[in-house]
Structure formats: structure tokens, C-alpha cells
Structure 1
Amino acid sequence: MPARPLRLTLRADDHLPADLSWRIDDGYIRANTWNEEGESITLGIWGPGELITPTGCGVTPYELISLTRVVVVECEPSESEILAFMRDLFTQTTHLLQIHRVRPADARLLRLLHWIGARFGRVSRSGTTLSLEDMNLTHRHLADIAGMTRVTVTKALTRFRSKGQVVRVSEADLLVPRDTSLDPVSPAPHPMASLPFPRTLRHEPPAHQNAGFRTP
């Protein structure tokens, strides 16, 4: 009988074997490397339905870390799927490198929130909404991805709310109003773009309708 594919359930911050190919059934995973000073560098983030496969690009060290509780199934991707993953990895890494060059730190964090919202959130004419809770994007995680300190992230989010740059639409969800000046780093469409929204939100609270959201 053929061997059954390996299925793993991981907790937040667990490490996933990076030398195998995985299909994400549930949860979110990020790929990391480090620089010579030991600072973490995020290369990309993937969510439900997406494929992660060994890069073959010689990046070392290279690790896959679960942001949330994650369920993955080992798979054997086709050549086209591997190529699509490599393109997506290259695109994500490029955008994250651009974000890291943004100064000051507040602007960098806001750019990161726009990028995460465009990739995983719910899009409307008002902007994008994302659930930091669903993705377990704590202030520490945001700091790691943006190359900031946790304290700086906490203070910046407080300032964003006071200025209306970020609007709380429920206990878990944030609306990031659209900023056309950020369009050049909006992520390119990827294979998951055709999936119906919401992708990260388990439900659509009434606050979304009040904020002007409409299902695409």
C-alpha cells in the first residue's frame, strides 16, 4: 500500500522541517533567515491552501516557523507549482526588503500593515482589514518582521489609532485606510488571489459593513 502523506499539527512558534514540501491546511507560516549579527530577516509569509517547498536558492540559515497553530500535509508539488512558489518567494522577499528601507520606523510599520492587509486581508474601497489575532501577529512578531523593537511597535500603533491611520473595527480586526502612495509596493497577484474573501477572518462582524466593506 502507498505510504500516507505526513500530516503535522504545530503550535505557534514551532519549527517546520524546511527540507520537505508542505501544503498548509490551516494557519500561517513565515520563512526566516539571519544576518551576521543574529538579527531575524523574514523572507515571506504563507497561509491556508498555499504551498511551501525547499527553495533550492542556497539561503542559509533557512527556517520555517509557525505564526499560529498550523496544520500541514506533506506533498509532492509539480514543476509548475515549484516555479510558482519560487516566484512568490522572490516577490515577497523583494517587497519586504523594500519595506525594511523605509524611514522613519512608524512609516515602515504602516507600510508593513498595508502589505499584510493586501496579501491576507479583506479589501474594499475604504482600505484593507486584517486580523492580527487570527494571524497571531503580536507586537513582537510585527517587530521581528519590520526590524523594530516591540516597544516601538506598541507606541506606533497607538499613534496610528489616534491619527486615524489605523481604525479598530472589532476586538480583533483593524482597518488600514487606503493610501495610494503605497501602491508601488502592493504585492503582485499570486495563485491564491482568486480565492473568495475573507481569507484570514473567520467571520464578518457588523463593524465591517459599517466601515464600508463589500464582498468582491
Structure 2
Amino acid sequence: MPARPLRLTLRADDHLPANLSWRIDDGYIRANTWNEEGESITLGIWGPGDLITPTGCGVTPYELISLTRVAVIEWEPSESEILEFMRDLFTQTTQLLQIHRIRPAESRLLRLLHWIGSRFGRISSSGTTLSLEDMNLTHRQLAAIAGMTRVTVTKSLTRFRSRGQVIKVSEADLLVPRDVGLQTQGDRPAPLPMTTLPFPKTLRDEPPAHRNAGFRTP
């Protein structure tokens, strides 16, 4: 009898074994490494339906950490699936490293919100909406991904709302308007190239706030 594939259910901030391949049935996972100062560096984020495989690229340390409650199943990927994952990892890591180079920190956070929205948000004629609650993107998590302090993230989000650079759709959802500039006053970062891989991803459950606002699910 063939061995049954391993299934795991993790809580937020649990670690997933990085030496096996997994398909994500539910939840969101980020890949992390660390620099010599002990600062966390996010290499990529994956959600429902995505496949994660060992990178084989020699990055150490390399950790897979659950952002939310996660359900995964062990997977035997094909060569094409491994290649697709490696392309995605390379694209995400490159984009996140570019984001980390943006100064000041407030502009970096705004670019990160655009990036998360392009990958996991919902698109409408008004812009892109993302659910911070669904992805468990607390101010602490956003600070860790952006390389900022939690206090700076909180203050920056307040300023974004006052300027109309993000709009609060519900208690947990933000709309990033389509025509909002990615730079803040006095800052003009270079354009961030977007990958041609098939995203944005959709969130599993669409809250009524999105339907009422006229959002469509891609």
C-alpha cells in the first residue's frame, strides 16, 4: 500500500518543515531568512492552491512560517512544478529586495501594500482591495516584512488614510486606489516591475463588504 501523504494543520507563527514539498489548501505562508544582525528577511509569500518545494539554492537559514492558520498536504511535484516555484521564488525575492531598498520607510510600506494587493487582492475599477485580517497582516507582521518598526507602520497607515492613499473598506479591509501614486512627498522610487506569473490570487471567502463595493473576483 502506498504511504498516505502527510497532512498538517498549523497555527499562526508555526514553522513548516522546509525539507518537504507542500501544497497549501488553506492559509498563507512566508519564507524567511535572517541576516547577521538577526533581522528577518522575507523571501516570498504563498497562499491557497500554491505549491512550496525545497529551494536547493543554499540559502541558510531558510524557514517557512505560517502567517495564519494553515492546512497543507505533502506533495510530489513534477519537474515543471518545481521550475514554476523557483521562478516564482526568484521573482518574489527580487521584488521584495527592491522594496526593502526604498527610502523613506513610509514609501516602502506603501509599495509593499501595492505588492501584496497585486498578488493576493481583488481588483475593481477603483483599485485593489486586500484583507489584512484574512492574511493576519497585523502591524507587527507588516513591520517584519517591510523591515520597519510596528510604531512606524501604525503611524504610516494613519497618514495613508488621511491622504486617501489607502481607504478603509471595512474593519479589516483596505482599498488601494488605482490612481494613487506610489511615492510620498519628496520621494520618487523607481518603478517596480511586476511579474507575469498568474496572479493576483483570490482570498478564499469574499466578505460582503467587497460585494457591496462592487469588487469582482478575478
TM-score (norm 1): 0.92
Which residue of structure 2 aligns with residue 139 of structure 1?
139
Which residue of structure 2 aligns with residue 152 of structure 1?
152
CA–CA distance in structure 1, aligned partners of residues 95 and 21 of structure 2:
24
Please give the per-residue CA displacement for 1:40-92, whole angstroms capped at 9, x wherever unaligned. Answer: 00000000000000000000000000000000000100000000000000000
The amino acid across from 1:20 in the alignment is L
- Alpha carbons of 1:194 and 1:201: their partners in 2 closer, same or farther (altered >3 Å)? closer
Is it true that 1:189 corresponds to 2:191 in the alignment? no
What is the aligned-residue identity percentage?
A: 80
Please give the per-residue CA displacement for 1:131-190, whole angstroms capped at 9, x wherever unaligned. Answer: 000000010000000000000000000111111111011122110112475594253132
CA–CA distance in structure 1, aligned partners of residues 161 and 123 of structure 2:
19
Offset at residue 206 of structure 1 (A): 4.2
| 8 Å Cα contact 1:119-1:187 kept in structure 2 | no
CA–CA distance in structure 2, aligned partners of residues 112 and 137 of structure 1:
12
Name the structure where helix makes up a greater proportion of residues: 1
Any residues of structure 2 matched to 1:1-216 within 5 Å, and which? Answer: 1-179=1-179, 182=182, 184-185=191-192, 187-191=194-198, 193=199, 199-200=202-203, 202-206=205-209, 209-210=212-213, 213-216=215-218
CA–CA distance in structure 2, aligned partners of residues 57 and 27 of structure 1:
25
| 8 Å Cα contact 1:169-1:208 kept in structure 2 | no
CA–CA distance in structure 2, aligned partners of residues 185 and 201 of structure 1:
27
Offset at residue 123 of structure 1 (A): 1.2
> C-alpha root-mean-square deviation of aligned residues, in Å?
1.8
Please give the per-residue CA displacement for 1:176-205, whole angstroms capped at 9, x wherever unaligned. Answer: 1124755942531324x387xxx1262242
CA–CA distance in structure 1, aligned partners of residues 204 and 167 of structure 2:
16
CA–CA distance in structure 1, aligned partners of residues 107 and 179 of structure 2:
12
The amino acid across from 1:122 in the alignment is R
| 8 Å Cα contact 1:92-1:187 kept in structure 2 | no
Task: Give the secondary structure class of the aligned counterpart of 1:185.
Answer: coil
| 8 Å Cα contact 2:118-2:200 kept in structure 1 | no
TM-score (norm 2): 0.91
CA–CA distance in structure 2, aligned partners of residues 208 and 104 of structure 1:
35
Which blocks of at least 5 consecutive residues in structure 2 are unaligned?
Answer: 183-189
CA–CA distance in structure 1, aligned partners of residues 128 and 34 of structure 2:
30
CA–CA distance in structure 2, aligned partners of residues 101 and 209 of structure 1:
37
Task: Give the secondary structure class of the aligned counterpart of 1:148.
Answer: coil
The amino acid across from 1:104 in the alignment is P
Please give the per-residue CA displacement for 1:101-153, whole angstroms capped at 9, x wherever unaligned. Answer: 11111110000000000000001222110000000001000000000000000
| 8 Å Cα contact 2:43-2:96 kept in structure 1 | yes
